[in-house]
């Protein structure tokens, strides 16, 4: 199997190189070479699929002659995690990168098979250059070949880190990678357009869907990471301005700017330099994100080890940046705008402002993330910036952005007259003012002016978007009759890109309201309670009912049953726990060895529309560890006796092993029982988090909106078929 | 005013605003940042100034009393160590021998007092193999 995978990977490398050569030979219009290069891309996709399948089969079948399987899985690893353990390894994640790229490249070339004749060969070369880079990395860099073997094969593997054994952690990396990778497509076509000086909006029209898909995937990845942090790590936050988080957020913000400004180019033929620069920046930031996880350059809670591939990726970023800057500056003449901006009160002007805000946000995050390196350069001291610094800049920028999510879609292109502006904005502004007034009077929202401003702007945006839907529906209803709801759905279905965009904006507004409320008005308390004791946090009375403890062959689980009452009535019965994992891959455990491995938190969460009640427990296990040490001493005595017996009569070895396991199980069980009968005080973190569920709901709305915008409408499909037919007809006629 | 001149002014204003913002960013980042130090560098530091302590948790030094966590942090090469007192959320991977980052200040008594919820533990890398070997493990052949 290893040989098969190795051969497929080597072949994949050669195929990618061939695709580059074939595309470049055929660049002047030799269809056969171009066809051949496209087929080579499909072949690359199949070869890399084969590699992935081989690895997955090895994981499923516990084939520990694969180094990657031995290091990241074990016989005990649950089946679901065996299939997803591939990308928790360095080499597996590189393979994932290359594989997803080959799929995206195949899809892009299939979609453009009869279009962009001149651009496609260069775009193919760029995409395959990146693919060859990543495949080559696996083949030639040190210690990252997924098909490295072990001879002889060990009997068991090291296992997967329990912290990573969480469903969202398994979906999170492929989502992020797919996001990073899909930005390669618009980048490659932009480079192709620059080289061939075909700088109208055709390359954008063909690849904007890929940019939107990349944006959506990256967004899902970010969201799953935040969700994991909120429910799995016992600190109760969803965002920490950690370098690796920032590294994924930056390309997302830059991609958001790109998605907006390309509309200006499509509609008005403006911002051409801007658009090619944005996609170069987005792609470079995506590479930078890939690089940061694999370097050790910045300190982060995220896992990185010193690895060998960092410098290569940095070199690739350098090549991309320098090459792009040279290319763009040599094409400045062709990138001149076709039109000038007519008025500052127009959609294109607002999009421009929105772009500047997003880039400003990105610049702030970039500076803060790399500040340790910057300060070391200037002062010789590594100094870092904490969350408050990030908040100081990102908060006002986010607030203004929310306002623009409401303003942008309402304005017309070119120029908006005062009269129509008044008509459009009167309702949103009135509702926003009303919302601000109500919130200031009935809640303590006024204590935080930033948050109050964000709520008001959020209300503005949501009202404006709802009004757009209403106006679209009303116009439709006037023509075709029927109910308003049907008319609204019909008009949205006909203009998916536009209305999908509105839905995304509404989702983002809801999400930002959730972030503002939960970060500004949360109650966060640490309390120490003994079993039977109670405490009061806000309107909630929390009683530590009883401790819980259990043990299985993988982990000890200590926890607490919390009875939460609100207004004298039961609000929730929560069971936050903390698990202590035995390091996997150790032959036979002692009781103490359970406390030598990883530990994870399972939070007790009662989610609600108005607020979440969140709690995690920190158990004091010092007493337990003492008991475990005592138990282990006795256990060792038993083991010594057993060993003597086995020495006298080797045939008894299996029985002795069974007996030892049995004794250990019972000892561990007793230790767990002891904890539940005489638990010491435990520290509980209690968080009352207002509107945090709005964040997840908003993100979901945005995702649905993105899907609507991505999905081609029946009409567009018809148009495409007609244009394909037209193109073919034209070709035949020219030949005739 | 002719349009070209108007555009120039607009561009100038935009650039000016950008430069001002960038200057603010640079200025605040240098004043708001905390410097990273290893224990041996902190032994002679002034009490009352905020630092970011980085190092490894000395094995066997972790003690818990109520909600206070006490442990010692040593340089990465393990030479000098410093007592630490901390309250707040403890990340899951925190344990003996792990690398940590903690923001706080030195007390008069020479203990490093961490700010609430600033303890960060570096994960054991998922990208480098770490087969933990504990000499105390009893091995039974089956």
Option in B35, B64, B118 nearest A622 (CB): B64
What mean pLDDT value characterizes chain A? 88
CB contact under 8 A, B126 and A303: yes
Q: What is the pLDDT of residue A733?
A: 67
- Spell out which residues of chain B touch residue A231, defining contact as CB-CB under 8 Å: none
Q: Which of residues 78-137 of B touch A (CB under 8 A)?
A: 87-93, 95, 101, 103, 117-118, 120-129, 131-132, 134, 136-137
**C-alpha span between A460 and B43 (Å, rounded):** 55
Given the DSSP bridges, would you call strands B81-87 and B112-114 parallel, antiparallel or unpaired? parallel
Tell me the average pLDDT across A295-311.
60
CB A337 within 8 A of CB A271: yes
Q: What is the pLDDT of residue A158?
A: 81
Tokens at A163, concatenated: 């912290």
Q: Identify the band that residue B55 occupies on the pLDDT scale cut at 50, 70 and 90.
A: confident
Q: What is the pLDDT of residue A40?
A: 96
Number of CB atoms found within 10 A of residue B43's CB:
13
Q: What is the SS3 string spanning A585-651?
A: CCCCCCCHHHHCCCEEEECEEECCCCEEEEEEEECCCHHHHHHHHHHHHHHHHHHHHHHHHHHHCHH
Number of CB atoms found within 10 A of residue A155's CB:
11
Does residue A436 or residue B125 have the better pLDDT? A436
Burial class (CB in 10 A: 0-12, 13-18, 19+), A57: middle
Q: State which H helix or E strand residue A253 sits in.
A: helix A243-268
CB A442 within 8 A of CB A383: no
- Spell out which residues of chain A touch residue B89, defining contact as CB-CB under 8 Å: 234-236, 526, 616, 685
Tell me the average pLDDT across A683-695.
92
Q: Which of residues 121-180 of A touch B (CB under 8 A)?
A: 158, 161, 163-164
Number of CB atoms found within 10 A of residue A573's CB:
12
Q: Does position B132 have pLDDT exceeding 60, yes or no?
A: no
Is the Cα dihedral A461, A464, A469, A470 positive or negative? positive
Q: What is the SS3 string spanning A444-506?
A: CHHHCHHHHHHHHHHHHHHHHHHHHHHHHHHHHHHHHCCCHHHHHHHHHHHCHHHHHHHHHHH
Give the residue from A385, A600, A619 with the most B CB atoms within 10 Å of its CB, the best one to mutate: A385
Nearest-neighbour CA in chain A from B8: distance (Å):
14
Does residue A456 or residue B6 have the better pLDDT? A456
- pLDDT one-digit tens code per residue, A472-520: 899 888 888 888 888 888 888 888 888 999 999 999 999 999 999 998 8
Element counts in chain B: helices (H) and strands (E): 2, 8
Q: Give the best-scoring range by mean pLDDT among A172-176, A301-305, A722-726, B131-135.
A: A172-176
Contact residues for B62 (Cβ-Cβ < 8 A; gap 6+): B69, B70, B71, B95, B96
Q: Identify the band that residue A301 occupies on the pLDDT scale cut at 50, 70 and 90.
A: very low
Q: Identify the band that residue A716 occupies on the pLDDT scale cut at 50, 70 and 90.
A: low
Option in A163, A526, A589 nearest B92 (CB): A163
Question: Nearest chain B Cα to A352, which residue?
Answer: B14
Please count the CA atoms within 13 angstroms of the CA of A630 that sit on its side-chain side.
Answer: 7
**C-alpha span between B128 and A143 (Å, rounded):** 10
Angle, CA A685 vertex, CA A387 and CA B48 arms, to 5°: 50
By C-alpha distance, which of A179, A182, A196, A61 is closest to A120? A196
CB A271 within 8 A of CB A264: yes
Q: Note if the pTM is more than 0.80.
A: yes
Residue found by looking up tokens 């005080």 in the block = A681
Tell me the average pLDDT across A155-164.
79
Q: What distances in angstroms separate CA A647 from CA A178, A637, A643, A652, A653, one per listed residue?
A: 57, 16, 6, 9, 9
Contact residues for A730 (Cβ-Cβ < 8 A; gap 6+): none
Range in A258-267, A629-638, B59-68, B120-129 the model is least confident about: B120-129
Tokens at A533, concatenated: 């004791």
Q: Does position B142 have pLDDT exceeding 70, yes or no?
A: no
Does residue A64 or residue A622 have the better pLDDT? A64
Phi-psi label, residue B117: left if phi above 0, alpha if psi -120 to 50, beta otherwise: left
**A337 touches B: beta carbon within 8 Å:** no
Phi, then psi, of A301 in degrees rounded to 5: -70, -15
Option in A636, A654, A683 nearest B142 (CB): A654
Q: Identify the band that residue A99 occupies on the pLDDT scale cut at 50, 70 and 90.
A: very high
Number of CB atoms found within 10 A of residue A96's CB:
23
Contact residues for A380 (Cβ-Cβ < 8 A; gap 6+): none
Q: Does position B141 have pLDDT exceeding 60, yes or no?
A: no
Q: State which H helix or E strand residue A547 sits in.
A: strand A540-551
**C-alpha span between A611 and A10 (Å, rounded):** 54
Tell me the average pLDDT across A283-301.
76
Q: What is the pLDDT of residue A727?
A: 66
Question: Cα-Cα-Cα-Cα dihedral of A292, A295, A298, A304, to 10°?
Answer: 90
Q: Does position B126 have pLDDT exceeding 60, yes or no?
A: no
Tell me the average pLDDT across A147-160.
85
Q: Does position A300 have pLDDT exceeding 60, yes or no?
A: no
Does residue A560 or residue A627 have the better pLDDT? A560
Question: Nearest chain A Cα to B51, which residue?
Answer: A383
Range in A494-498, A593-597, B19-23 the model is least confident about: A593-597
Range in A12-21, A444-453, A694-703 the model is least confident about: A444-453
A683 forms bridges with which residues in the sheet?
A: A528, A618
Q: What is the pLDDT of residue A717?
A: 62
By C-alpha distance, which of A335, A162, A174 is closest to A233? A162
CB A94 within 8 A of CB A309: yes
Q: What is the pLDDT of residue A76?
A: 81
* Helix A167-182 / helix A272-293 crossing angle, nearest 10 deg: 140
| Radius of gyration of chain B measured on its C-alpha atoms | 24
Q: Give the best-scoring range by mean pLDDT among A8-17, A136-145, A152-161.
A: A8-17
Q: What's B34-121's CATH class?
A: mainly beta
Tokens at A443, concatenated: 């809640």
CB B103 within 8 A of CB B96: no
CB contact under 8 A, A590 and B137: yes
Q: What is the pLDDT of residue A731?
A: 67
Q: Give the best-scoring range by mean pLDDT among A285-299, A455-469, A615-629.
A: A455-469
Q: What is the pLDDT of residue A734?
A: 65
Domains, in order of start, for chain A: 1-161 (1.20.120), 166-371 (no CATH), 386-521+700-736 (no CATH), 523-690 (no CATH)
Tell me the average pLDDT across A77-99.
88
Q: Does position B122 have pLDDT exceeding 70, yes or no?
A: no
Q: Does position A631 have pLDDT exceeding 60, yes or no?
A: yes
Residue found by looking up tokens 């390196």 in the block = A373
- Spell out which residues of chain B touch residue A371, defining contact as CB-CB under 8 Å: 29, 33
Option in A585, A586, A683 nearest B67 (CB): A683
Q: What is the pLDDT of residue A297?
A: 61
By C-alpha distance, which of B1, B40, B70 is closest to A622? B70
**C-alpha span between A620 and A149 (Å, rounded):** 43
| CA terminus-to-terminus distance, chain A | 53
């Amino acid at each position: 199997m290893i040989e098969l995978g190795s051969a497929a990977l080597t072949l994949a490398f050669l195929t990618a190189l061939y695709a580059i050569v074939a595309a470049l030979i055929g660049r002047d219009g030799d269809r056969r070479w171009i066809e051949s290069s496209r087929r080579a891309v499909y072949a690359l996709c199949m070869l890399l699929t084969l590699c992935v399948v081989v690895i997955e089969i090895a994981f499923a079948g516990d084939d520990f002659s694969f180094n990657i399987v031995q290091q990241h899985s074990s016989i005990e690893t649950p089946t679901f995690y065996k299939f997803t353990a591939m990308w928790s390894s360095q080499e597996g994640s590189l393979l994932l990168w290359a594989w997803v790229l080959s799929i995206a490249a195949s899809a892009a070339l299939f979609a453009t098979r009869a279009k962009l004749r001149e651009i496609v060969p260069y775009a193919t070369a760029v995409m395959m250059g990146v693919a060859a880079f990543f495949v080559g990395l696996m083949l030639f860099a040190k210690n990252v070949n997924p098909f490295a073997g072990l001879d002889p094969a060990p009997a068991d593997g090291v296992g997967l880190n329990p912290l990573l054994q969480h469903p969202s952690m398994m979906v999170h990396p492929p989502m992020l990678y797919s996001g990073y990778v899909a930005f390669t497509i618009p980048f490659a076509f932009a480079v192709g357009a620059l080289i061939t000086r075909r700088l109208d909006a055709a390359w954008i029209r063909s690849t904007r869907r890929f940019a939107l898909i990349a944006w959506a995937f990256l967004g899902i990845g970010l969201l799953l990471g935040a969700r994991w942090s909120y429910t799995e790590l016992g600190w109760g936050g969803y965002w920490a301005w950690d370098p690796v988080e920032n590294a994924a957020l930056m390309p997302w913000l830059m991609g958001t700017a790109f998605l907006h400004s390309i509309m200006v180019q499509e509609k008005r033929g403006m911002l051409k330099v801007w658009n090619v620069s944005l996609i170069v920046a987005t792609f470079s930031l995506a590479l930078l994100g890939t690089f940061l996880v694999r370097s050790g350059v910045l300190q982060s809670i995220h896992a990185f080890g010193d690895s060998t591939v960092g410098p290569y990726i940095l070199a690739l970023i350098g090549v991309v940046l320098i090459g792009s800057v040279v290319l763009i500056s040599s094409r400045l003449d062709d990138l001149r705008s076709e039109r000038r901006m007519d008025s500052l009160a127009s959609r294109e002007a607002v999009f421009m402002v929105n772009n500047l805000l997003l880039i400003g946000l990105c610049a702030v995050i970039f500076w803060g993330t790399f500040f340790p390196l910057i300060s070391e350069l200037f002062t010789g001291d590594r100094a870092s910036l904490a969350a408050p610094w990030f908040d100081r800049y990102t908060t006002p920028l986010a607030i203004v952005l929310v306002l623009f999510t409401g303003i942008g879609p309402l304005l017309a292109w070119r120029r908006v007259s005062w009269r129509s502006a008044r008509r459009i904005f009167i309702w949103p502004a009135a509702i926003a003012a009303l919302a601000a007034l109500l919130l200031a009077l009935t809640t303590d929202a006024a204590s935080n002016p930033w948050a109050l401003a964000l709520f008001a702007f959020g209300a503005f945006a949501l009202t404006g978007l709802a009004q757009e839907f209403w106006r679209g529906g009303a116009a439709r209803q006037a023509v075709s009759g029927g109910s308003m709801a049907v008319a609204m759905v019909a008009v949205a279905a006909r203009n998916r890109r536009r209305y999908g965009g509105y839905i995304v904006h509404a989702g983002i507004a809801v999400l930002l309201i959730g972030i503002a409320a939960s970060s500004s008005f949360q109650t966060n308390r640490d309390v120490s309670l003994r079993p039977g004791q109670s405490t009061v946090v806000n309107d909630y009375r929390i009683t530590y009912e009883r401790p819980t403890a259990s043990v299985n062959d993988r982990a000890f689980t200590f926890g607490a049953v919390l009875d939460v009452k609100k207004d004298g009535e039961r609000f929730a019965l929560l069971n936050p726990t903390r698990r202590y994992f035995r390091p996997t891959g150790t032959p036979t455990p002692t009781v103490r060895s359970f406390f030598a491995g990883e530990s994870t938190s399972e939070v007790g969460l009662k989610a609600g529309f108005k607020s979440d009640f969140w709690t995690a427990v920190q158990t004091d296990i010092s007493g337990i560890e003492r008991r475990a040490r005592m138990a282990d001493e006795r256990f060792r005595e038993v083991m010594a006796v057993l060993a003597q017996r086995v020495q006298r009569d080797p045939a008894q070895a299996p029985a002795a092993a069974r007996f030892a396991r049995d004794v250990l199980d019972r000892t561990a069980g007793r230790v767990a029982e002891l904890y539940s009968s005489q638990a010491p005080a435990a520290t509980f973190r209690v968080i009352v988090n207002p509107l945090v569920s709005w964040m997840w709901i908003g993100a979901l709305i945005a995702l649905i909106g993105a899907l609507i915008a991505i999905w081609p409408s029946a009409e567009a499909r018809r148009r495409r078929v007609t244009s394909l037919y037209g193109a073919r007809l034209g070709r035949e006629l020219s030949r005739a | 005013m002719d349009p070209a001149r108007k555009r120039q002014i607009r561009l100038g204003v935009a650039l000016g605003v950008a430069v001002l913002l960038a200057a603010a960013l640079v200025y605040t980042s240098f004043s708001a940042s905390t410097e990273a130090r290893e224990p041996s560098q902190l032994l002679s530091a002034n009490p009352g100034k905020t630092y970011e302590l980085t190092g490894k948790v000395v094995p066997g030094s972790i003690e818990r009393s109520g909600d206070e966590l006490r442990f010692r942090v040593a340089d990465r090469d393990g030479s000098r160590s410093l007592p630490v007192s901390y309250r707040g959320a403890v990340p899951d991977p925190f344990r003996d021998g792990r690398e940590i980052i903690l923001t706080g200040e030195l007390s008069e008594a020479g203990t490093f007092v961490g700010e609430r919820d600033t303890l960060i533990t570096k994960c054991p890398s998922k990208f480098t193999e770490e087969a933990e070997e504990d000499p105390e493990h009893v091995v039974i052949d089956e």
